[in-house]
Structure 1
């Protein structure tokens, strides 16, 4: 299994970089353009294993974490866009074992899809974003289903991933919550699979990238 992690630090003097930092659809297009024979279709993103997340950077701007099954070509970034570096995640994948303590971070889109009767009774939309304890419960279930037993959990709401899809002018909005803490691996093979595939909805627009690192207090 090949997996790559790329860190891109956009230069805030670049108009294109600033625009991508506020538009999840434009950022999706930008990152897909780093791969050969790219398209904007969901199947291409899935086949390439592309997942990403934006995070605050030390300079007050943002950084982009890009995970992919194919090494991206950073020379395809526009001139002046920023700097980046790629490393293999093979050592992390190889080190995974049952009982290993890890730190995790994920910006996810916790949602619930009520049944028709419930929607009509409470005037709910087809997709209900989860917050607070409900979001934490959602992540706990997702982690368990990904081969992780949570030992600590912190969460905070993030700005929604927004943008307008070029093909049909459909407005995209995915509510996001940042989950981070510590866990123990219960199923290494399952975890490798979920790490590669991503977790939850909105994976094309900055949700679902699970980051792991060994926890120093592992005994």
Structure 2
């Protein structure tokens, strides 16, 4: 299995970078533009394994892009910012049951109530989860990824929003940042979920699970 991780530090002086980071749809199209145009599938994002996440750090904003193919960084506009790509193969090869890791994911935790429940409580078809309900959602997802959570910290993020270019339909995916530590219970399952992404909104900055070895106290 080969995965690539690209770290892009947008230059705030770049108009294109400012536009892309202001909206999830524009950023989706920018990330997809870094790959060949001839991918023969109705789902090029899934075929290319493209997942991304924006983050704010003490040094400024950054974009993390994960993909099954190496992106062509020459396709970024001039003066867009700094970018570097590395392979995740050594990390993936080192995964094994019992290994303790740190994790981080910006996800779209939701619940889809049944029709009777929606009518009774006047709920929408998709209900975003917050607080304890969101934490429980992630705990279930983590187990399905082959992880046994040790610690879990969550915080709300701004929603991923924008208008689709094809039909101008507005998209909105509420996001929560989950981070903490865990032990691997199934390495093969974890590799699969790392590649596929987790939850909804994967085209718009949700679902990228990042992990690293945890060398602190267990």
* TM-score scaled by length of structure 2: 0.97
Measure, in 2, the Cα distance between the counterparts of 1:143 and 1:43: 25
**Root-mean-square deviation over aligned CA pairs:** 1.3
Corresponding position: 1:86 with 2:98: no
Task: State the number of aligned residues.
Answer: 217
Long gaps (5+) in structure 2: none
Q: CA deviation at 1:57?
A: 3.3
Q: For 1:104-150, what per-residue CA distance to the aligned partner results, in whole angstroms no more than 9, with x for missing partners? A: 00000000000000000000000000000000000000000000000
The answer to whether 1:186 aligns with 2:154 is no
- Alpha-carbon distance change, 100 to 42 in structure 1, aligned in 2, over 3 angstroms: farther
Is contact 1:42–1:204 with CA below 8 Å preserved after alignment? no
CA gap of 1:33–1:141, structure 2 versus 1, over 3 A, is same
The answer on whether the counterparts of 1:38 and 1:44 sit within 8 Å (CA) in structure 2 is no
Q: Secondary structure at the match of 1:21?
A: helix
The 3 A distance-change label for structure 1 pair 210 and 165 is same
Q: What SS does the aligned partner of 1:189 have?
A: helix
Tell me the residue number matched to 2:7: 7
Give the Å deviation of 1:58.
3.1
Cα distance, 1:56–1:97 mapped onto 2, change above 3 Å: same
**Corresponding residue for 1:30?**
30
Aligned residue for 1:133, secondary structure, equals helix
- 2:211 matched to which residue of 1? 212
For the structure 1 residues 14 and 42, does the alpha-carbon distance in structure 2 shift closer, same or farther, using more than 3 Å as the test? farther
Taking the TM superposition and a 5 Å limit, the aligned residue runs for 1:85-124 are 85-124=84-123
Q: Do the aligned residues in 2 keep the contact of 1:6 with 1:86 (CA within 8 Å)?
A: yes
* TM-score (norm: length of structure 1): 0.96
Q: Show the counterpart of 1:154.
A: 153
SS at match of 1:36: coil
Matched with 1:64 is 63
What CA deviation, in whole Å up to 9, does each residue of 1:183-202 have, x standing for no partner?
00000000000000000000
Partner in structure 2 of residue 53 of structure 1 = 53
User: Are residues 194 and 5 of structure 1, via their aligned partners in 2, closer, same or farther at CA, if it must alter by over 3 Å?
Assistant: same
Structure 1: gaps of 5 or more residues: none
Shift of 1:37: 1.7
